[in-house]
Each structure stands twice: as structure tokens, then as C-alpha cells.
Homo-oligomer: A and B are copies of this chain.
């Protein structure tokens, strides 16, 4: 199942050479962050994740160094949020070329520092180099109680599907940036905060979780493959889509779900929960002033579908995901193909 996705083939090409660590809880693909057993004496797993910013910088999707630094940190911490970990901090590997002057590096570092401050965590250390190109990688570390850890695996039919917040901002940001279109809000609306606080609460209730860093449909596709269930999304776009994303979709004539299918996400966490845990989750969330967004339910089957009235319209998520492999090279063609899929599916 997982090998139908082109991206996973590239991962397998490299990861196939590596032995499975006996002290790692998860198999490959099964968690946003690696969960490392610290031994019987510890009630905690170490959560560790590495994430480099490559396509987003090279394509010009992120150009302000402050946003680049912010996203480097948040993309890594978002993986911790999805396993319910409390952050210990971030390591960064920053290689710069002469094209990045001191002011650029200061803004980059300021973006990283701001993201850490927002999440009440720290840069633990890192490595700086000078080379021919800008190159950025991060590694976030955290701890999660063994009894409360969540992975991408654990959904079953009957579960309800939630998001930590409305989705679609990531792809709308990418659409506006890469198509050169203007928006009244500028592009400052895109400054996602990793859902670390919510992850800490989710870990006590959720059956499985994964962040939406590559867009919601990509997340649902992965959860569907790993859990061998049907993930049914209600066509209640008012609730699911961020208002700004909904507005852009209306103005540009883009079907709402396409804003969830593009490969640039917004770092919400998508999770499923057994129906009998739902009330407890919602009460706990309310006590913290947070409203999880119900987006659908898990059913028998093995597909991602959209529920229109009585009908389930299946999405060809293999096709949608594999389109993304070429998204950076030609964003216009990518958007065009997504719209074509929408037309053909009658959505």
C-alpha cells in the first residue's frame, strides 16, 4: 500500500539499507516522530524527528528569512505535537553561502528563536557551515509518557476524525505565492504554530494522529493506508476550511476540497478518537479554550472519500499524492491537474 506513493519509494531506496532499531517503538511511516525507548527505568519515550527545508525555499514559497527560520522550527515541532511529546528543544544545521549576509542570518536566527519562544522551548545546539548554497535542517527532541504516546496507527471503523483547527491555509498561501496572485491580507496570514499544547491533550484521548504538514488529504491518505480503514470527510466546508481559505476558493472558483489536496499544509494535527472518548476530549479542550474541529468518521473500507448527503465519493488519493512529486517544478500545471481531478470526480 505505502509503496504506491512515489515519495515512499524514494524513502525506501535509502531507508531499506538501515536495520530496524530494536529500541524504536514505531515502524517506518508509523509515527510523525521516532519514538525511542529510554529503557525500562524510564516511563518516557524520547521523540525525535529531523526535517530539512528544501523545496519550500528553492521554489520561493518561503523567501523572507524570518519565515524560513520560523518554519524550520515549526515543521519539526509539529512532528512532536503529533506524537503528543513535550519538547526538549531543537538542533539546527545551517549552511549558508555568501549570498546570505549578516542581516539575512540574523533574521533567519530570529525566526527560529521566535518559534521556540512561542512554544516555550529552546534551541539546544547545532552546526553552522559556509558553503555554496543555503541549506537548512532541524531536529526536534521531546519526551512523551509511554502510557500516553500516540502514533499514526490505531484508527478503527466508528472513530470520529478531528482536526486541531480548520485547514487549507497552507495550500492557499502556496497558491497565492506561486501563482503571483494578490490577496488583501498579504501573505502574513501564514505563520503556523505547531500544535504542541493541543498534542499534549490529544495524547490522552486519541486513537491515532498525524500532522497536516503536506496537506489534509495527504494525511488522510497515509492514515487510510496504515490503518486499512475508510476515512470519510463530510462536505461541511464551512467548518473544515479556514475562513480565509474558503474566501480564496470562492474568489478563484476552486472547489473547497482542492485546498485540502495540495501538498503544502498548515501544521494542524489530524486525529481519530473512539466515540465513547469524544465527550471527555471536548470537555478537556473546552477547559483549555480550544475547539477541535470534527471533519468526518472512520468506516469499513480502504479509501478516502467525501460524504455528499447519502453518497460517498471516493478520491483517487494515490493519483493526487503522486502529482505532488512534480508540484514544485510547475505549480500552475499542478493546480490545473488537481482541478481536473475535481471535475472528473464531480466534486
Contact = CB atoms under 8 A, between A and B. Distances in A.
User: Can you tell how many copies of this chain the complex includes?
Assistant: 2
Contacts of A24: 89, 122, 124-125
A327 to B, nearest CB: 11
A203 B33 CA distance: 30
A128 B36 contact: no
Interface in A104-143: 105-106, 108-110, 112-113, 116-117, 122-133, 135, 137, 139, 141, 143
Contacts of A116: 18-19
Given A52-B93, A122-B19, A141-B141, A109 B14 contact: yes
A23 interface: yes
Contacts of A52: 93, 95, 127, 129, 135, 137
Select the residue from A19, A48, A92 with max chain B CB neighbours within 10 A.
A48
A46 interface: yes
A105 B13 CA distance: 8
A13 B126 contact: no
Interface of A: 10-11, 13-21, 23-24, 28, 33-34, 36, 38, 41-44, 46, 48-52, 54-55, 58, 88-89, 91-95, 102, 105-106, 108-110, 112-113, 116-117, 122-133, 135, 137, 139, 141, 143
